[in-house]
Amino acid sequence: MDLQVRHWAISAADGCYKTFEKELDGTSSNPTGPSSTGDCELEREEHLVGGLAQPTEASRLLSGNRDGEAAEATQWAVPKMNSFASGLVPQSWISYFFTNKFDLAPGVLGSLFFVTSVISAFSNLVASALSKRIGLVKAMVFTNLPAAIMLTLIPLPYSPMLAMFFLILRSCTNSMDNAPRSAFLAAVVLPSERTLTMGIVNIVKTSSQSIGPVITGFLAEAHIFWIAFLVAGGLKVLYDLGILAAFVNHKTREEEIEQGNEAENEHIQEEEVMLTD
């Protein structure tokens, strides 16, 4: 509200300054000083109703139309494709794959998933620093993309050690995109719409993930389980590229406010220079 009030005050001052210039040149249709001042005061008061500032057309253009912002964020940031891909190869099916193809002992599987879980937990600590350095969108993409590539490589080798190596590499960045995604979604959605949007996100994620295991079951029964890894990895790559293309230059609300404040300060300085001259 303070930002808009200041902008409207500047607009009113600019109108008064132009009126004063016309009076000095003798071109004003109403050359009397008090009347012109009263017009300026009336113009300023027309933007104030009940003590609240009313936006002008210029302020609406500066502030932008955010009516469809939540819908846009929901359409792209809600990981429909990513969740479906994750549902194709959950940890339970990955465990089945290693047992069925390499005949790994339960103890080896337990140790393997213990290592991947610990790595995933510590990798989340790096996600925060990475997001601050390169931005939320790039942090989402550049961490999930290597994990997607590693996912497609897991079923290819005939050596269990190499397959486990790919799985461990995947765990290094697989969960690093969760925190940046949540932060980005909260940053681009209006505060009054965050609860609703987050609810939609969870519903879509859960429903998308629930479809994947059914498809993987049919693939495993047909002895083409490896297709699930390739499809899941390919979908995740497409999702990452789509996120990057859509939001690489997108600014969060905090960045837009900061940019607007800088532009407003420059405008105030220009108005002060004009008035002093």
pLDDT of res. 272? 73
Among 11-15, 58-62, 68-72, 272-276, the least confident range: 58-62
Examine the pLDDT at 39 and tell me if it is beyond 50: no
- Under 8 Å CB-to-CB from 209, ≥6 apart: which residues? 83, 84, 86, 87, 90
Q: What's the mean pLDDT in 232-238?
A: 92
pLDDT band, residue 194 (cuts 50/70/90): confident
Q: What's the mean pLDDT in 17-29?
A: 46
Examine the pLDDT at 145 and tell me if it is beyond 50: yes
pLDDT of res. 53? 40
Among 8-17, 71-80, 116-125, 228-237, the least confident range: 8-17
pLDDT band, residue 227 (cuts 50/70/90): very high
Among 27-41, 107-121, 185-199, the least confident range: 27-41
